[in-house]
Amino acid sequence: MNGKSKTTFRWSSPAVAALLITLSGSAAMAQAQKNSIVALQTASSGSNIEIVITSDEAFLRSEVPVLRIGKQEIIISGPAEDGSVYTRVFYLSPEQFRSAKSGDRVTFQYGSGEGERQRDFGTLDKSKLTHSSRRGRP
């Protein structure tokens, strides 16, 4: 794949990397998986909750990146701090996070349409929520 060199698969920040190390063994194993939730954290500023996902398929399309958690669609997102196109950070409002339930299916797709191709990121585990030193979204 174009540009998909080994050098591009980097964690978005030292904080995320540290978080990965301290997560449970199953989460650490996630690096070997195709799609993973690598962090669930509150931003140091603001009240948003960040879900950091990685995939071995880069996030490149022009359509709106959409993270589906159960029936909710999350559309506010940003790139990793290091610019990796294999990592994406989605931002949930406190209300959205409250509405989400552990066990909700987490999928990624471009756009909102039904029948669109989805990437499966497993299920949400709200007990994994941690506090980040990362600066939140602007």
- Chain residues that interact with other proteins, rule: CB under 8 A: 1-3, 5, 7-8, 60-66, 73, 75-85, 91, 111-116, 137-138
Query: Which residues does residue 53 pair with via DSSP β-bridges, in sequence order?
Result: 37, 88
DSSP helix/strand/coil, 59: coil
For other proteins, the closer CB: 79 or 103: 79
Q: Which CB, 59 or 121, lies closer to other proteins?
A: 59
Identify which of residues 8 and 123 has a Cβ nearer to other proteins in the complex.
8
Contacts with 79 (C-beta within 8 Å, 6 or more apart), sequence order: 85, 87, 88, 89
**Closest by Cα among 67, 104, 105, 115 to 88:** 67
> Residues for the chain: how many in total?
138
Decide whether 23 or 65 has the Cβ nearer to other proteins.
65
Q: Find the helix or strand (DSSP H, E) in which 79 lies.
A: strand 77-79
